[in-house]
Amino acid sequence: DLMSPNGKASPFSECRINGSLGHCSDEDTMTLRPHRKHRDYIEASVCHVKDLENGQIREVDLGTGRALLIKEHGEFFAMGHKCPHYGAPLVKGVLSKGHVRCPWHGACFNITTGDIEDFPGLDSLPTFQVRVEKEKVIIRANKQALQTQRRSKAMSKCSAVIHSSTGFSHVLIIGSGPAGLVCAETLRQEGFTDRIVMCTMDTHLPYDRPKLSKCLESTAEQLQLRSSDFFQMHDIEILLEKEIVSVDVKTRTVTFRDGFKMEYRKLFIATGSRPKPLSYKGKDVGNVFHLRTPEDANSIATLASSKNAVIVGTSFIGMEVAAALTDKAHSVSVIGIEAVPFRKALGEKVGKALMKLFESNRVKFYMLNEVWEMRGHNGQLKEVVLKSGKVLRADVCVIGIGSSPATAFLKQSGVHMDSRGFIPVNKTMQTNIDGVFAGGDVVTFPLALRSNKKVNIPHWQMAHVHGRVAALSIMGKASDIKTVPYFWTAMFGKSIRYAGYGDGFDDVVIQGDLDELKFVAFYTNQAFIIIKMITPKIISNLDKEMIMLLYIIMKYSFLFYGTILLQ
């Protein structure tokens, strides 16, 4: 596999001569305007018309850049060849029904418009003019678009003249993660011209948080998703280091910790999650971290250099940090309360295989164990004491035992929350309160592929989807969530890609070689299949032998809740 930007192996006009109208991006339509100079474009013959069969894609060279050439239903299309998310080569992706899906993280692009239609990622692809002359396929492309390989959708601007200190916003977004950012951008893309304010407790503009645990030395600027100029250009206001302490849905007002109040017409809650605290002796000892910010990641990397690092918890974040530290730290130790890491999410078989991978890279596990005490010297961590009595040398400790929704500020608001603090929403991301929407890690939402069961899926990709659906709902353009949940990680040059929702699986079917870590795992639930396929009415009319026969048949007929591919 090619390398992704995080340094780990990637998880994977004119009329056309064929009679169809040319499909152009906003950038390409500018070619017809007289002020666009010819030297800004390049035109090249890239192949013979018969070189591509229907359903084929090819990366082609135009001299000053490359493009993705596509043939479907007898028509040719050309677009950017790299996914704008992490730069994956789309030629290795999948073409289906007018869309190309990224091979690494599953983003999906319309081959006609170049628009992103499934996430993760914020930008779309440029598209280029294609024509056929004398059996040759010719592409005309903007040189700058060939270099950038990305295109932002056209956005409207705020038409109202509003002073930044005004205590009213037509749409107030709480949180600056992917759900909040995509919500704001979608509103502008869909023509929303009123005020949009995003507020966040963070000190930085929105950044790529999944990279924190993989690239510990990255700065906030390197991880930044959008520049300050972008927000200013598109009239999206961001209030940094602003914590909301209460919401009054009757007066449609939020109150900040500093006493400032802001009224809203529509509210989108996307505050994400908070790390679960760990109970232990020695809370005053330094160099113990919950990984939340770029500064945390930078400190962990510095303190672990040639020193002893201890990771508490076998969550994905904790294990990613452990993997990232193996080439920096003198020793890396992982403490887990279960016998095998990843067991709940990936099952025991896959968990054991991944545990061996970590052990082969000098990671020491202390499973079926918990932390009793953090011991320090001059205020700095020196030892981690386990409840078993084992004492581990430690110069830095990272706690990753899970998270809980950051919704405490809503307790007296009237916005309904379940016993765990999650906000139930409907398929349009609306809460029980009219005009109040929520998305991302804080919600349980109806998942279509699980018969609209309310689920919580704290994936980066799903947060993007929630933000877009919420924005469309705010504008009265309600749209269902149709995407398939998708998760990825990368450790020691191996990439894990997980599609679906496997909660409640009772069997794991492995195809491939677990020892070689080249396999596909299917997560199944046989009881669910039987309940779905055999209704109580039918069962009452069957004898015991027939019921047993049906059970045996169903035992080998799998309903795939989730699929993991490891390469």
Closest to 517 in 3D by CA, of 360, 289, 402, 301: 360
pLDDT band at 159 (very low <50, low <70, confident <90, very high): confident
State residue 164's pLDDT score.
67
pLDDT band at 552 (very low <50, low <70, confident <90, very high): very low
pTM, entire model? 0.86
| 486-491, strands of its sheet edge to edge | 486-491, 494-500, 560-566, 518-524, 507-513
Helix or strand holding residue 180 (H, E)? helix 178-189
Position 259 pLDDT exceeds 90: yes
Helix or strand holding residue 553 (H, E)? helix 544-555
Number of other CB atoms surrounding residue 368 within 10 Å: 13
Closest to 28 in 3D by CA, of 42, 18, 17, 44: 42
The one-letter amino acid at 175: G
Task: State the DSSP code for 281.
Answer: B
The residues facing 275 across adjacent strands are 403
| Tens of pLDDT, residues 468-518 | 999 999 999 988 888 899 999 989 989 899 999 988 898 999 999 999 999
Tell me the pLDDT of the chain averaged across its residues. Answer: 87
Structural contact between residues 322 and 334, judged by C-beta atoms closer than 8 angstroms:
yes
Q: What domains lie within the chain, and their CATH numbers?
A: 41-148 (2.102.10.10), 168-274+405-475 (3.50.50.60), 288-401 (3.50.50.60), 502-562 (no CATH)
Decide the pairing of beta strands 168-174 and 196-199: parallel
| Tens of pLDDT, residues 391-442 | 999 999 999 999 999 999 999 999 999 999 999 999 999 999 999 999 999 9
| Tens of pLDDT, residues 178-228 | 999 999 999 999 999 999 999 999 999 999 999 999 999 999 999 999 999
pLDDT band at 565 (very low <50, low <70, confident <90, very high): low
Mean predicted confidence (pLDDT) in 298-327: 96
Alpha helices in 410-510 (DSSP H): 460-474
State residue 562's pLDDT score.
62
How buried is residue 547: exposed, middle or buried, by Cβ count under 10 Å (0-12/13-18/19+)? Answer: middle
Q: Which residues contact 71 (CB under 8 A, 6 or more apart)?
A: 52, 53, 54, 55, 56, 57, 77
Mean predicted confidence (pLDDT) in 258-271: 96
Mean predicted confidence (pLDDT) in 140-156: 94
pLDDT band at 544 (very low <50, low <70, confident <90, very high): low
| Tens of pLDDT, residues 240-255 | 999 999 999 999 999 9
| Tens of pLDDT, residues 12-45 | 223 332 323 333 333 443 333 334 567 799 999 9
Which residue has 């809503």 as its token pair? 410
